Amino acid sequence: MLIRFKGHIAESEVTDQVLYVDRRRFLALGAAGAAAMMFPVGRADAGALDYTKGAVTLDEKMTPFEAVTTYNNYYEFGTDKEDPARVAPGKLKTTPWTVSVEGECAKPAKLAYDDLIKPHQLEERIYRMRCVEGWSMVIPWVGVPLAQVLKRFEPTSKAKYVEFTTLADPAQMPGIRSRVLDWPYTEGLRMDEALHSLTLLAVGLYGQELLPQNGAPIRLVVPWKYGFKSIKSIVKIRFTETQPATAWNKSAPGEYGFYSNVNPAVDHPRWSQAKERRIGEFLRRETLPFNGYADQVAGLYAGMDLKAQF
Ligand code: MTE
């Protein structure tokens, strides 16, 4: 992503850092830890969730729990990959949690976490996730299709987009004292993207409640878009008639567009998007259009010039 204070980071440096961190962690953990990375188990201090195995699965090796929960982007807690796991657990207070649903809908409401999530059956969805920086993971999320949640608020015919906002509390989030982004972090989807059956409102991973570094207690997961669209720790959902501004697009419009679909044919100005390094693997693999979900989602963009609308 954009790291203003650290200057330009070449893709090779980023991917080398991924390998370096992986190797260092592997060595530091010793034999037991290494086994845990390969055969991840959940953490005792995170709540177990009641969920069904979803219909959407993936025949690819899952990224170990250890890596999913310690190699993160969550700039509200710092810009280094290890900052969120180091800082967020002691700082982010996730109960009570309230989400305000506003804008172009017949039934706006402010709902406590339980009232928003508990009416729904949670399911597990194993998704590929790809970061614009060139690394990827396979994560077993637990959540509810966003469409099921949004429909309860009865969006009107004027609702063409959905805007999401993350909590921005300097007392809990030391990273927002830096001006690396214009806080609060916001993201947006077109209504048909938000209602697509792959779009998940996630509350857990590996069968347990989300840890703070992964965006507890509620985050978005949009598997055919670059990771930055998958906004964490959501406190506001707003239906809008016009395309909402997004945090990364505001900060660097030439680098981050509104759509942000994974597209190996359109390079980021600083990073090729043709290949990616799956965390835990050494050789880079080809990046697939729409991150491998083209059959399901390419139709949403029929007729659009995806080079211009990146
Ligand atoms: N949401 C907020 N609020 N702040 C962030 O910095 N980073 C994004 C996204 N959501 C981010 C965020 C980016 S760049 C990525 S790649 C994913 O979260 C990373 O999710 P993960 O750490 O759970 O893998």
Q: Tens of pLDDT along 59-71?
A: 999 999 999 999 9
pLDDT band (50, 70, 90) for residue 45: low
Q: What is the rounded average pLDDT for all residues in the chain?
A: 89
Which residues are 205's β-sheet partners?
Answer: 141, 208
- Strand segments, DSSP code E, in 6-105 are 52-53, 98-103
Global pTM reads 0.88
Report residue 124: phi and psi, to 5°: -90, 135
- Residue pair 80/87 in contact by the 8 Å Cβ criterion: no
Q: What is the DSSP letter of 294?
A: H
Residue 55's pLDDT is: 74
DSSP 3-state helix, strand, coil percentages of the chain (rounded to 5)? 30, 25, 50
pLDDT band (50, 70, 90) for residue 35: very low
Token pair 């990073």 is found at 271
pLDDT exceeds 80 at position 21:
no
Residue 7's pLDDT is: 30
- For the chain, which residues make up each domain, given as ranges? 11-301
Residues near 1 by Cβ (< 8 Å), separated by ≥ 6?
73, 75, 79, 132, 133, 228, 248
Judged by average pLDDT, the poorest of 7-16, 49-58, 87-96, 180-189 is 7-16
Distance CA 106, CA 110 (A): 13
Ligand 1 contact via 231 beta carbon (within 6 Å): yes
> Which amino acid, 55?
A
Closest CA to 72 of 56, 62, 89, 84: 84
CB atoms within 10 A of CB 45: 9
Ligand 1 contact via 187 beta carbon (within 6 Å): no
Distance CA 238, CA 259 (A): 18
Pocket test for ligand 1, best of 1, 231, 232, 279 (most atoms within 8 A of CB): 232
Residue-wise pLDDT for 90-106, tens only, equals 999 999 999 999 999 99
pLDDT band (50, 70, 90) for residue 281: very high
Q: Which CATH architecture has domain 11-301?
A: Alpha-Beta Complex (3.90)
Q: Which atom of ligand 1 is nearest to the CA of 185?
A: 3
